[in-house]
Amino acid sequence: MSHGSFATVINCMDGRVQEPVIAWMKQRYGVQYVDSITEPGPILILADNRDLQTIESMRHRTDISVNKHGSHAVAVVSHYDCAGNPVGKDAQMVQLGAAIARVKSWGFGVDVQGLWVDENWQTYPVAFD
């Protein structure tokens, strides 16, 4: 049973990106709460598809957010100066596309949105066609 409305983020553990991403999600989706699934450089983990134990844990946590809290939207986050994924924005955009495809493959039937947090800690949506 859920109390209130939720969205979900698969975010980096980096403390600098928590508040900007949560604020963006609340604004965009009009939710009261944002469930955060955090890893260092989550888009690298999801794009690489090698650390299957961590990926399964991320999938399990997303399942709880979607199916227990009733979240309808999942954002996958990339950001400037990521210690867990120390590559530039162009490389991160390729990883982000693969990470979104991985999350969609879990089949939760929710909106899956890519986000980029820049050097000013501003959050921007990333569209993939």
Question: Which amino acid, 77?
Answer: V
Pick the closer one to Zn ion by CB: 12 or 110. 12
CA distance 9 to 4: 16
Closest separation between CB of residue 2 and Zn ion, Å?
Answer: 29
Closest separation between CB of residue 108 and Zn ion, Å?
Answer: 24
Pick the closer one to Zn ion by CB: 64 or 83. 83
Closest separation between CB of residue 81 and Zn ion, Å?
Answer: 8
List, as one string, the DSSP characters of 56-73.
HHHHHHHHHHHHTT---E
Residues near Zn ion (CB under 5 A): 12, 14, 82, 84
* Listed residue (99, 96, 98) closest to 78, CA to CA: 96
Per the listing, tokens 């553990």 go with 13
Pick the closer one to Zn ion by CB: 55 or 66. 55
Q: How distant is the alpha carbon of residue 60 from its chain centre?
A: 14
